[in-house]
Every structure is written in structure tokens, then in C-alpha cells.
Amino acid sequence: MNGLGGLNKSDNGVVIGCVQLQLPTVATPDDLKRQTARIVEMVGKARRNLSTMDLVVFPEYSLHGLSMDTNPAIMCRVDGPEVEAFRKACRDHRIWGCFSIMELNPGGMPYNTGLVIDDTGEIRLNYRKLHPWVPVEPWEPGDLGIPVIDGPKGAKLALIICHDGMFPEMARECAYKGAEIMLRTAGYTAPIRDSWRFTNQANAFCNLMVTANVCLCGSDGSFDSMGEGMIVNFDGTVLAHGTTGRVDEIITAEVRPDLVREARAGWGVENNIYQLGHRGYVAVQGGAQDCPYTFMQDMVAGRYRLPWEDEVKVVDGTSCGFPAPTRRYREDMPQAAE
């Protein structure tokens, strides 16, 4: 069904390109400027590479690299020059793009932010990573929820970032809000390879949702990222997979949101996103629509606590060189825009 990677595009198809971008080293504003230009060049490559491509997806950390440097001099703003360059590239090449920035956050730690820009250069989706990869990442927990937008050809589109995808609740939230395609951008390194693969497939199958996923690729002299561009159909079948680790390769496939909609409406067996809220509908009219899950009830009530909570050893970033925080979430910070 992937139309030879999108070469043969159907009337209802959306062609996605996942860029296994070379892992950069960015330490100064000049480095940031050069890497911005590199990403802009790759938007052009994506368009030249495949004229049918609707959406090009860049990995998390594609602009900043994996140093975890929070120096304000290399942090970005959504209305800053780097994002403006990405907007222009999408407009010039008439292509949708997904990009990553580390966003300056006055009063707190920077946000790990993902943006989706349409083919006219307008920002259509702004997402802040909900689950930073603790204890390694210093980013402020996201505060914008998970937006779902009308993407290319009207497909319902969501974005999550890296570690987010290890929480099945994240993909479920995307699907519950209507997403037919979920993007997952990452900077993961090789030790995560197996869990990356099976979570990408599980996130798709458990929610009858296409997932398009990509990591950085290559080495910066310290870290080795794995590429692993991976586009998965709603039934868990892998449509395209970058297994060679070749840097700057663009992994492509055509996906069919119309068939996602058909499956969600027509499947009986394994229509899990529906059946979660309609337990046992063969026995009980409409199924049980209660919430039997203690963890959900406790989280909403603000009392989430594991039975082994007091035995957890790593509860801050000191093991990775970050000072223990003293500020509580949202304390002394401007509230998120509604």
C-alpha cells in the first residue's frame, strides 16, 4: 500500500518523508545559524527527492544536537529567525514540514518544542514535549497538551516527541482526539533500538492510527544516533523502515487516512480504541462505560502514587549533572495560553 515509497501516489494518499538527519554539534549562535541553513537545504532535498511528498519530518534535536545545553544564546523562539527560515522553506517548496526547536522559557527551563508548518508557511501545530527523557533531559514539562490539526489533504495529524512514545497513554490521547497520523520525532541512540521499533508498531495497532517516526542519525563524536525512520500502518504493519543507518536518507511511504477512518468505523475484533470505553458490549448494551482503572482515577485526583514509590532511586537529574530542582511545576511561571 505504500505506493513504492510514494512514487505512485493515490488520490487519497498522503506521502510522508522522514529525514534521518546527521546528528549535529551546536554550541554557539553561529553553529545554530549554520544548522538552520542545513535543515532548510534538506527541505529542498525532500522536494527534489520526491515530487509527490506532502510532509517532511525532521527529528527531535535536529537544530540543537544532543548536548542538552540550555545556554540562552542558542535557545529559540517560535517567532524567531530559525523558525522564520523553516516557514520560508515550506512556503518556497510548497511542502508541509515538522521541525524541532529548544524554546526559550523565561522563568523556567527551556521547552522541547515541535512545530508543524504548512505549505504556505503558516505554523499549524505547536507542541511542547510532555515527557522529557528523565533523568537525562532538563526540559520543562510541556503545558499545551497534545494538539490535533487538519494536516495535508485534511488528514488529522498529531505530534509527540521521543520518550513520549514510550507511554501508551500519549498515542491513545492522540487517537482519542481524532488523529489519523501520529508523528514521533526523536534523538534516540542505539540502546533504544528494539523498544523504538515495537512501541512504534504498538502505538499504531492499539489505536488504529498511522505512526511516522524518525531519529537523528550518525555520530557527533560522543553520541551515536540510529536513524530508524519508520512508517507504520494502522494495523501495525511496517510500510517503510530505514535500517541501514545512512545519514540524511529520507525514508518515504504513502499512507491512507481514508483507510484509517474505514477501519475505525468497520472493525469489530481489535477495534481497541473504541472498545476501551465500551467494555463487553456483546453482553451489555453499549458496553460498560465506567473507568475501572485506578491509575486514571488517582491521576485525575492528584494522588498518583506507585506501590513502590518510596523505593524509586532516581527522582531528579543529579545523576546526569543537573542540580535538584526546588521549583514546583508551574510555580512562578506565566500560565500557558489557552
Q: Is 129 a catalytic residue?
A: yes
Under 8 Å between Cβ of 225 and 175: no
CA-to-CA distance for 193 and 200, rounded, in angstroms?
A: 11
- Backbone CA torsion sign across 46, 55, 181, 143: positive
Active site residue: 162, 174, 215, 217, which one? 162
Q: Which of 18, 76, 90, 129 is catalytic?
A: 129
Which one, of 96, 67, 66, 62, lies nearest residue 82 by Cα?
A: 62
Whether residue 76 contacts residue 63, with contact meaning beta carbons closer than 8 Å, is answered with yes
Dump the DSSP string for 245-298. Answer: --TT-EEEEEE-HHHHHHHHHH--TT-HHHHTTSBTTTTSTT-B-S---HHHHH
230-232 sheet: strands from edge to edge: 148-150, 156-161, 181-186, 210-215, 230-232, 238-241
Which grid cell sits at 39? Answer: 535543515
Is 60 an annotated catalytic residue? yes
Residue 253 has phi, psi (to 5 degrees) of: -160, 155
**Residues classed as catalytic:** 60, 129, 162
